Amino acid sequence: MTRSTRRTRQAAAALAAVLTGLGAGCAAAPERQPSPPSASASGQPAPAAARGFTLVASGDVLPHTSIIAKANEDAGGDGYDFRPMLAGVKPVVSAADVAICHMETVYGADGDYSGYPAFKSPPQVAAALRATGYDSCSTASNHTLDDGADGIARTLGAFDRAGLGHAGSGRTAAEGRGPAWLRAGGARVAQLAYTYDTNGYPLPQGRPWAVNLMDRQRIVADARAARKAGADVVVVSLHWGTEWQDDPDTRQLTLGRQLTASRTHGRPDIDLILGTHAHVPQAYEKVNGTWIIYGMGDQIAGEMFNHEGAQDARGNMSTIGRFTFAPPARAGERWRVTKAEFVPQWFDLGSDRVVNLNRAIDRGADLEGIRDEIRRVVLGRGGARDGLVMGK
């Protein structure tokens, strides 16, 4: 994790107008509460009314001290409002049938909030994520234990109050081990989440289930259990990779191949892998017939400094992945991804707003260089050959 400081606001008036336009006139999608699976088991015929669906996913929400201060300012100095920061991507997120985010930090209480190195974020983040259209967040990260079991309890409690699903950490053994269950089109979607480490913080005594640690055998076992419990689509969120490295590292490549190769009765155990942690966008790649996003980058973060101590603009670049799933032609087969897209994002430090780059460029903002750098990295492992396209 890198440190963050407040930068002098230099946004041009034209860009501010663009950002205002992005957040205006966008009606929220209907409420989509997460639902538990039905009693039917995997392998049964798809319901007659089954239809395809779109799934979107985005990267790390990492509220540094500067981000917390801006949320307080956006609330008029009374409380914290993170909704304006996310308004620019609300049209993309709320339009999907199911939307997944990544909450990298845990929540504090009663004004006890902090940024790097031990994060405690205002719980109002959860309500803002839900208002933007997210249905569930992965909560397994190297910062999940920054405030021990109490931090996990406050975070998941805030999620519950906001109506937001969660996977990757737990207040109980069942909650920690179990997936988030989501409904999308005619499908039952199970989201699982894991992290490579917890920054040296030990698991709370007597609570080995407090946060899910990344282990191939466990991930496969959990995916198979979710499928047996009725999951049509299994999504795995992984907090992994090497910070500030555009290319996926050896562990990502190896584990990605292993997980996508895992099958039961010829059917893949995992249908999509969503990566976070590296602070920079990484490639999308289809491996063994399954899409992997190695790293989506930071959706919300303050000014980012790399390992050399230099401010690094890549730490505010990210993507939203968008996948269109179609139901199987025959019972027991997988739901197929018929369209794979990435939407380039940028967190503008001048306004502290998330920008959908293609929409902003359409409105005249001069952001092509940032957009093109993201596209270069995302397509760097041949995703275009398998149909990956840039969306809006």
Whichever domain contains 200, its CATH number is: 3.60.21.10
**Overall average pLDDT of the 213-219 stretch:** 98
Is 26 part of a structural domain of the chain? no
Which residues does 112 contact at the CB level (< 8 Å), separation at least 6?
Answer: 120
Amino acid at 317: M
Amino acid at 41: A
CA triple 290-354-241, angle to 5 deg? 40
The C-alpha atoms of residue 132 and residue 99 are separated, in whole angstroms, by 10
Is the pLDDT assigned to residue 359 strictly greater than 70? yes
The C-alpha atoms of residue 141 and residue 103 are separated, in whole angstroms, by 8
Q: Which of 290, 293, 301, 323 has its CA nearest to residue 99?
A: 323
Query: What is the span of the domain harbouring residue 158?
Result: 52-390
The pLDDT-based confidence of 50 (bands split at 50, 70, 90) is: confident
Beta bridge partners of 268: 263
HSE (CB half, 13 Å, CA atoms) of 167? 28
Burial of 114 (0-12, 13-18, 19+ CB in 10 A): middle
CA triple 7-116-306, angle to 5 deg? 65
Is the pLDDT assigned to residue 13 strictly greater than 70? no
Is 276 part of a structural domain of the chain? yes
pLDDT in tens, 262-313: 999 999 999 999 999 999 999 999 999 999 999 999 999 999 999 999 999 9
Q: What is the DSSP letter of 277?
A: -
Q: What is the pLDDT of residue 59?
A: 98
Q: What is the DSSP letter of 229?
A: T
Is 345 part of a structural domain of the chain? yes
Count of domains forming the chain: 1
Is 29 part of a structural domain of the chain? no
Mean pLDDT, rounded, of the chain: 90
Is 327 part of a structural domain of the chain? yes
The C-alpha atoms of residue 256 and residue 295 are separated, in whole angstroms, by 12
Is 262 part of a structural domain of the chain? yes
The pLDDT-based confidence of 331 (bands split at 50, 70, 90) is: confident
Residues 312 and 71: beta-carbon distance below 8 Å: no
Q: What is the pLDDT of residue 42?
A: 38
Is 44 part of a structural domain of the chain? no
The pLDDT-based confidence of 43 (bands split at 50, 70, 90) is: very low
Give SS3 for 151: helix
Is 11 part of a structural domain of the chain? no
Residues 239 and 138: beta-carbon distance below 8 Å: yes
Tokens encoding 270: 């995992």
What is the reported pTM? 0.89
Amino acid at 134: Y
CA-to-CA separations, 225 to 41, 192, 218, 271, 305, in angstroms, rounded: 11, 11, 10, 14, 40
Kind and range of the H or E element at 383? none
| 3-class SS string, 21-83 | HHHCCCCCCCCCCCCCCCCCCCCCCCCCCCCCEEEEEEEEECCCHHHHHHHHHHCCCCCCCCH
Residue 303 has phi, psi (to 5 degrees) of -65, 130
Residues 207 and 192: beta-carbon distance below 8 Å: no
Range of lowest pLDDT (12-16, 101-105, 124-128):
12-16
